[in-house]
Chains A and B, each alone.
Chain A
Amino acid sequence: MGIDITKKKRRIALGCEGSANKLGIGVILHEGDLTTPTSTVLSNVRHTFVSPPGTGFLPKDTAHHHRSFFVRTAKQALSDANITLAEIDCISYTRGPGMGAPLTSVAIAARTLALLWDKPLVGVNHCVGHIEMGRAITGADHPVVLYVSGGNTQVIAYAEQRYRIFGETLDIAVGNCLDRFARALAISNDPAPGYNIEQLAKHGGRVLLDLPYAVKGMDCSFSGILTRAEELAAQMKAGGGKGPDGEPFTGADLCFSLQETVFAMLVEITERAMAHVGSNQVLIVGGVGCNERLQEMMGLMAADRGGSVYATDERFCIDNGIMIAHAGLLAYETGFRTPIEESTCTQRFRTDEVLVKWRK
């Protein structure tokens, strides 16, 4: 390992992600000097564990899925990237946050690759992975970041080498609220419950059903909304649910109302953070960030403030290996390493714990 990474013109990392129900392996290439590298996605392979409608993904089953698919996913990522093993500079993996058992499975697999191929290992914070990938893809320079997924809901802005959390959920994540609501209506989990809610909501909207709206400063809460939405779903199934206009409402109306309410909350806390830090750029990352209605609402708010919204599509919004490869390589280029004996993973790993050495 005598090569000085800072002098290398081509740097390549393989990233392994498995903090929730997606197993993702990707290969990224950084070219040019370290201050202004260009990033190229060489491969980005994902395999998702889909549970039957009405159920969620359990840690045990998800971990089993990741173990079963790791080898073929990794092989696919390598062949798509069309590189030799010698070209890889480091192996990145998700240290956390996420579900314990799936994290452990992928960490063990990443460690195995590192030993097998004699490559250094880099542990990556999953949230920082999302943020860095979003910045690289959209070119957003100094945005306020809304990170929304099945496990996380945070409003983040960068200051002094940390991604600081300005606001967050006080209970469950917004994606968790949507996923669990999908179970109440037995909406399919394929490709994702949130996607199916979004499609269903397009057929709703005759009425806006009254749901709790819980914003506290820059924080918000979703558990009360979920409870109320589940109650309304049960009423509907029993045939007794009536909207504000006295007419029965449909599952589509429920999906529509839920989206309008929770997204309005997210946009509101993001706007407050933007006013607080004086930024007019906003970047949306995380699985819920694929939702086009959320992107549209955020765009209206940003336009109102004379700014713009940056968002990516499902390839980068939804958990993937490439973001772990990218963030891992950024850290690796500053000299960061995770020694094999410290290559643990953790369910709790806050975004602001990471020292962001690669930014000024």
Chain B
Amino acid sequence: MAVADAQFPPPKVLTYPASAPPSLITQGAEGRLYKTTHLVPGRPCALKYRPPKPYRHPTLDARLTKARISSEAKVLERCWREGVPVPAVYAMDPAAGWMMMEWIEGIPVRVGINEWLGERPEDGAEISSSSQETDQTPLVDLMKRIGTAIGALHKTGVVHGDLTTSNMMLRPTRGGQVDGCAGDEDKARVVEGDVVLIDFGLATQSMADEDRAVDLYVLERAFASTHPRAEKLFAAVLQSYKETFKKAPSVLIKLEDVRMRGRKRSMLG
């Protein structure tokens, strides 16, 4: 990505002298994510920048960039206030297309699950919660924490729009080690930590069962394609979602519908 990086000038906020030089973390279709610090050297932060799109009419580009940064910040703010595990917003300039957020330590949930599965090749091709119940407990626990986080999110009237295991972080628990059986401790650590939801670029405020069900369906599909061996454990996500969120039953009924028709309909315009 070095070439692309050189092509785009960094946002102005990153050209000010800072104690931590900003580094580009990822570049998506929409924008770029940098790691830098906010106000003091000891406070790492993530900076999301949406560069102008040369193909778009300048008026439309300015309108979209501004609306998207504000709406993402608004959604994060709402979640954070309601206690949903998301990064806190530190600063933003919607017109300039950037927003600074709390830096979430840890690894993406995707990486944690894959490391857990990768370390257990002897377990065979597929993993189910029933067969190796004791063995899979840490992974099932993670599934439950994911369900709880999504339940909390939906309770606040927000749908994420792009739930995948890449858009969830596993933040190391503060205060360190809880109980843990010796020996398995290291292995279990890869799926330990608080689940924090990130990347709200496609999030919207919605209370509709349909939107919530689609949110779950997108995650279910992403989960099946990213972690086919652990597909059966997805039920644990829905179980804890149900326990966290009072309106879950009607969402889960809707989820059946969404699954039936798929996201795609047979269409003629």
Q: Which residues of A contact B (CB under 8 A)?
A: 97-98, 150-153, 165, 168-169, 172-173, 175-176, 208, 210, 213, 216-217, 260-261, 264, 267-268, 271-272, 274-276, 296-298, 300-301, 304-306, 347-348, 350, 352
Q: Please tell me if B260 contacts chain A, counting CB pairs below 8 Å.
A: no
Among B56, B161, B269, contact of A172 (Cβ-Cβ < 8 Å): B269
Known: A97-B267, A210-B63, A298-B55. 14 other contacts (CB 8 A): A97-B268, A151-B269, A152-B269, A168-B264, A169-B267, A175-B269, A213-B63, A216-B202, A217-B162, A260-B60, A300-B55, A301-B55, A350-B264, A350-B266
**Residue of B29, B30, B161, B269 touching A176 (CB-CB under 8 A):** B269
In the assembled complex, the Cα of A152 lies from the Cα of B162 at a distance in Å of 25
Structural contact, A169 and B269, CB atoms closer than 8 A:
yes
Whether A260 and B54, one on each chain, are in contact in the complex, defined by CB atoms closer than 8 angstroms, is no
Inter-chain contacts of A274 with B (CB < 8 A): 29
Q: Give every chain A residue within 8 A of B134 (Cβ-Cβ).
A: none
A-side contacts of B269, CB under 8 Å:
150-153, 169, 172-173, 175-176
B60 and A297 within 8 A (CB) = no
Which residues of B are found within 8 Å of A267, using beta-carbon distances?
Answer: 55-56
**B residues 188-224 touching A (CB-CB < 8 Å):** 202
Chain B residue at minimum C-beta to C-beta distance from A352: B264
Residue B43 lies at the interface, judged by CB distance under 8 Å to chain A: no
Known contacts A271-B29, A304-B54, A306-B4; A213/B268 CB under 8 A: no
In the complex, what residues of B have CB within 8 A of residue A275's CB? Answer: 28-29
Q: Please report which residues of chain B, range 156-200, place their CB below 8 angstroms from some CB of chain A when the two chains form the complex.
A: 161-162
- 18 A-B pairs (CB sep. < 8 Å): A165-B264, A168-B267, A208-B59, A213-B60, A216-B202, A217-B161, A217-B162, A260-B56, A260-B57, A264-B57, A264-B60, A275-B29, A276-B29, A300-B55, A306-B3, A306-B4, A350-B267, A352-B264
- The complex places the Cα of A67 from the Cα of B236 at a distance, in Å, of 59
CA distance in complex: A97, B202 (Å) = 31
Q: Across the two chains, which residue of chain B brings its CB closest to A347?
A: B268
Which residue on chain A has the smallest CB distance to residue B264?
A: A165
Please give the distance in Å from A202's CB to the nearest CB on chain B. Answer: 14
For residue B233, which residues in chain A have a CB less than 8 angstroms away from its CB?
none
A108 to B68, CA, bound (A): 51
8 closest pairs, A vs B, by CB? Answer: A173-B269, A275-B29, A300-B55, A297-B55, A208-B59, A348-B266, A151-B269, A260-B57
Q: Does chain A have a CB within 8 A of B64? A: yes
Q: Within the assembled complex, what's the spacing in Å between the Cα atoms of A176 and B162?
A: 29
B247 at the interface (CB under 8 A from A): no
B53 in the interface, Cβ–Cβ < 8 Å?
yes
User: Which residues from chain A contact B28 at a C-beta distance below 8 Å?
Assistant: 275
Which B residues lie within 8 Å of A264 (CB)? 53, 55-57, 60
Whole-angstrom distance between the Cβ of A167 and the nearest chain B Cβ: 10
Least CB distance, A211 to chain B, in whole angstroms: 9
Rounded to whole angstroms, the CA-CA distance of A175 and B268 in the bound complex is: 12
Given contacts A298-B55, A300-B54, A306-B4, contact A208 B268 (CB under 8 A): no
Smallest CB separation, B6 vs chain A (Å): 11
* Chain A proximity of B216: nearest CB distance (Å): 15
Q: Are A272 and B55 in contact (CB under 8 A)?
A: no
Out of A260, A261, A348, which one reaches B268, CB within 8 Å?
A: A348
Q: How far is the CA of A271 from the CA of B55 in the complex (A)?
A: 11
The smallest beta-carbon distance between A100 and chain B, in angstroms, is 9
C-alpha gap A301/B61 in the complex (Å):
13
Cβ contacts under 8 Å, B4 to chain A: 305-306
Q: What's the Cα separation between A216 and B202 when bound, in Å? A: 8
A196 and B4 CA atoms in complex are apart in Å by 37
Complex formed: what's the CA distance from A84 to B162 in Å?
57
- Identify the closest chain B residue to A98 (Cβ): B268
- Which residues of A lie under 8 Å from residue B64 when comparing CB positions? 213
Contacts of B264 in A (CB 8 A): 165, 168, 350, 352
Q: Mark B248-268, 1 if CB is under 8 A from A, else 0.
A: 000000000000000010111
Give the distance in Å from the alpha carbon of A97 to the alpha carbon of B64 in the complex: 34
**Which residues does chain B contribute within 8 Å of A172, judged by CB atoms?**
269
Determine the chain A residues whose CB is within 8 A of the CB of B55 once the complex forms: 264, 267, 296-298, 300-301, 304
Residue of A nearest to B4 (CB): A306
> Could you tell me the distance between the alpha carbons of A355 and B55 in the complex, rounded to whole angstroms?
35
Chain A proximity mask over B17-58: 1 for CB below 8 Å, otherwise 0: 000000000001110000000000000000000000111110
Complex Cα gap A153–B7 (Å): 31
CA distance A352 to B262 in the complex (A): 13
A173 to B266 CA separation, bound complex (whole angstroms):
14
Question: Which residues of chain B (126-166) have a CB below 8 Å from chain A?
Answer: 161-162
Most buried by A among B57, B264, B268: B268
CA distance in complex: A213, B63 (Å)? 10
Distance between A65 CB and nearest chain B CB, rounded to angstroms:
20
Closest to B27 in A: A275
CA distance A276 to B202 in the complex (A): 15
Is there contact, CB below 8 Å, between A301 and B53?
A: yes
Contacts of A176 in B (CB 8 A): 269
Assuming the A-B contacts A217-B161, A301-B53, A306-B3, are A348 and B267 also in contact, with contact meaning beta carbons closer than 8 angstroms in the complex?
Answer: yes
A352 to B162, CA, bound (A): 23
In the complex, chain A residues whose CB is within 8 Å of the CB of B60:
208, 213, 260-261, 264
Chain B contacts of A268 at CB under 8 A?
Answer: 29, 53
Contacts of B54 in A (CB 8 A): 300-301, 304
Cα separation A293 to B54 with both chains bound (whole Å): 13
